[in-house]
A and B are shown apart, each in its own frame.
Chain A
Amino acid sequence: MAETHSLQDLQQPTASSKVFVQRDYGSGTISKFHTKFPSELEPRIDKQQFEETIQTLNNLYAEAEKLGGKSYLEGCLACITAYTIFLCMETHYEKVLKKIARYIKDQNEKIYAPRGLLLTDPIERGLRVVEITIFEERSIGSGR
């Protein structure tokens, strides 16, 4: 039993805390998160690394919400087909969201998990926050 850890073990409230990076509405309603480094993460991760992660996320969301020729074309095509085209086609936004999910998974595996942190995809939180779970060292390995 000591070898098998369920995710529940890792999430005992006494063994983890959460930090929330809120949305930055300074540029309007676009999806953007504050790049300010939360103090709770100081002992765990490099400030640069964290800011880079958030900045990349911001750039990816900007790409998803970009207004340009391609998105207009998609919009017009959708309108002409009475939006039924969305039944067969994935929107540009959805494609970028998949990209973001892959990026977060990648970041978690390479950078955050080794430091006992976990990034939650903002889409799972309604694009309100980037939730970072901090796991206390003592809970990992304590099979219950």
Chain B
Amino acid sequence: MGLLAYPFLLFLHIVYSLVVFSLSLWCRIRRHTPLPLNASRQRIPKHLAVLFVTDPEIDLITTEQRLMESVECAVKWSLEVGIEQLCLFDNEGILLRYSESIRDLVAPSPLPSKMQISEPAIVYPPTPPMSDYSESRSLSPEGFESSVPIARMSATSPRNELRPGGKHATFGKDDSKTLNINIVSREAGKPFVATMARSIAWSERRKQKVGAGCEDFHLSIAELEKHLEGPSGLSPPDFMIIHPIHPSKYNRFPLELHGFPPWQIRLTEIYCDRLRKQYRSRLMWFLPLEIRAAFLSSSLTEWEFREALDQYAGAEMRFGR
């Protein structure tokens, strides 16, 4: 039956392709224009995450360029809407490596509003060594302090230059909106949880040495949450936009989360525009890759951002009830 089934399976895939093509055309034609950026919405995320998905088909220079454009736009639109916190993620850590450039990119000159950027602090955890423990090694009395590998910066924009609309704006003394920007990579996810676990283990080992037994070691959710989401951690985003740099290829396959910190996405609403440039790469297959990369790569668009906010505003949260 196995070999005989293949022609039927092929036919099934052909029928499925036709159905998907038809439905995508239908969705494109029937698609509603999203509300303007500064329109009044039922709710706006306080903490927005943008997950950038890179692709090896797009060269590094084009990828970096698209990322920088996207970051600049995301910061500008977030300030305009009144989002308080913005988390920028990419799996490979490209944004983290270029955090200084990002600081320069969101500088005042390309944007109409005055923006002040505080000094970014890239914090890497002083990870306990993974080598064998030596009895002769001394431990500091405070133990190990770990913090999420993250670049933090903030941007402010004067309120009077922005149209009203955001419900959750934070206002400083001079009535300016403040946007806290965090840049993270995959290292802030599972690897950091492992780092935190090692820190906890070392801390418990020290208690053993000073006589406090750890036979009854217990770790609560609240305690782990304090480590992962506290002042040196990453707070959970309310909403996440997944933006592929190569949408034409990405939108042919299902959604993934690409190593985003798992602890923080418990209740995060997720959005991804699955209709952008869906078939464009198939029409350009004959072009050299370098030329295709310029056409097929994409930075974050305002349409995506507005549609995402509309989706978030309409989402129903039940919290288990």
**Chains A and B come from one and the same complex:** no
